[in-house]
Structure 1
């Protein structure tokens, strides 16, 4: 009985975290002016519903807000921070699969591959999560694209006025009533017969494209947020 009550309180707590987190993000971005760049060039990919969003760990807030209700399936770490993110994403209309490079990664990746093959829907992977190195793409997303046969779609955003946290990823939180710039990058295609060298080339291309669109979004507002800053 005590265990059942404890589990119920646990679920109530995290359900409340998800609700309040979603409300906060909705309220925050309802006050901002959002410019979306590059959507025309990737419209055929978006319309297909078969792709994998990829973005840096520090840039999740606006991206999840813009695509809420898309029924994307997202790989989220099994950490407590990951639990917070997962609960908010679920309230935004996404499905989450728990796992990372350090805990349950292979099982989670296998589940994600199955979900994407079962139904025409977007996937999401954060290539430098959950612990970094910052702005360094890990190979999991390349393997996912190879196994599913769908392109990787890099996305990024920045804000004119924002709080930059002293975390490993330099997480950004836009201030209310600021301007934001959301950028779609060029799709990355990974051939199903790609060997290790080709996979590494695709990983480097993804990393370079993500850095390019992230830094372009930052420079729009005069920010100089480099890899080593």
Structure 2
């Protein structure tokens, strides 16, 4: 086994990396001069019980913790993979006072849906990266739609950026915000999924989520005159799958 993998499997180094990540997120949260744009129909959920499904692209994850204004951070639960990298991210999030829900788009998608439903039924809020953990970039999977269908809770698209940032050449074009700059958080309008939505209707809602997130993200980037980050090209159509196949649930594993 390579030394680097041994180090990453070490609980001590996982905790150290998690502490560094959470400290940086806290620095960004406290030093960036944030502007928030919230439609009226969305504000009522954020100022009420906040029992919602928040969706944002994987690349914007660090900035999204500023979007949660609730005084009780424990109500917010981020969907995280059980993979090693996911555990580091989970520890980072928990260091900030938030909670996590374990699930994966590739393993145990049905189990992740059950965990999400339990959290929402208890009054919590869920954060999902619908293009995670490996893409395609800025293309939504169906997990958030299924969660909204099962629970009756609205999906709220949200995105953001900052004036000074580093964009990595990763699959998602991950955005690392700089501290001590200006930033913007932009919320979309609620997406309500019918309890008995057909597959065609589910696809309609999925496209609505993807379209809202991409338009909001371009709006945010244009507000600071930044180069736009575009979605991956649409994948080739897949062969027909079993009707009993579990839906893909996206998570924040990098």
**TM-score when normalising by structure 2:** 0.80
Identify unmatched segments of 5+ residues in structure 2: 1-8, 233-254
* Aligned residues of 1:64 and 1:92 also touching (Cα < 8 A): no
**Mapping for residues 155-170 of structure 1, pairs under 5 Å:** 155-170=158-173
Matching residue of 2:241: none
Structure 1: runs of 5+ lacking an equivalent: 1-8
Offset at residue 227 of structure 1 (A): 1.6
Map of 2:68 onto structure 1: 67
SS in 2 for 1:48: coil
Does structure 1 conserve the Cα–Cα contact (< 8 Å) formed by 2:145 and 2:206? Answer: yes
Asked whether 1:82 is paired with 2:75, we answer no
Question: CA, structure 1 residues 158+197, in 2 after alignment: closer, same or farther (shift >3 Å)?
Answer: same
Contact 1:100 1:129 in 2 (8 A): no
**Where does residue 28 of structure 2 map in the other structure?**
28
The residue number in structure 2 matching 1:216 is 219
- After superposition, residues 124-139 of structure 1 pair within 5 angstroms as 124-139=127-142
Give per-residue Cα distances to partners, 1:90-119, cap 9 Å, x unaligned. 1122221222211232212211112211x1
Verify: 1:56 aligned to 2:60, yes or no: no
Given that 1:74 and 1:123 are in contact with CA atoms closer than 8 Å, whether structure 2 keeps it comes out as yes
Contact kept in structure 2, 1:37 and 1:182, CA below 8 Å: yes
> Could you state the TM-score of these two structures normalised by the residue count of structure 1?
0.89
CA distance in structure 2 between the aligned counterparts of 1:129 and 1:228, rounded to whole angstroms:
13
- Compute the displacement of 1:13 (Å): 3.7
Structure 1 CA distance for aligned equivalents of residues 78 and 190 of structure 2: 18
Farther-moved stretch of structure 1 (122-131 vs 93-102): 93-102
How far did residue 30 of structure 1 move?
A: 2.2
**SS of residue matched to 1:141:** helix
Alignment coverage as a number of residue pairs: 221
Supply the RMSD in Å over aligned alpha carbons: 2.1
| 8 Å contact from structure 2 (residues 102, 115) kept in 1 | no
**In terms of mean alpha carbon deviation, does 198-207 or 79-88 score higher?**
79-88
Q: Distance in 1 between matches of 2:229 and 2:169?
A: 14
Secondary structure, counterpart of 1:204 in structure 2: helix
The corresponding residue for 1:116 is: 120
Deviations 1:56-88 (A, max 9, x none): 000011112442725212211233332222111
1:149 to 149, 152, 167: 152
Q: Identify which of structures 1 and 2 has the higher relative contact order when contacts are C-alpha pairs closer than 8 Å and 6+ apart.
A: 2
- Partners of 1:167 and 1:144 in 2: how far apart? 28
Tell me, in whole angstroms, the C-alpha distance in 1 between the residues paired with 2:23 and 2:171.
Answer: 26
Change (3 A) 1:228 1:145: closer
Report the Cα distance in structure 2 between the residues aligned to 1:70 and 1:225, rounded to whole angstroms: 34
Corresponding residue SS for 2:65: helix
Larger helix fraction of residues: 1
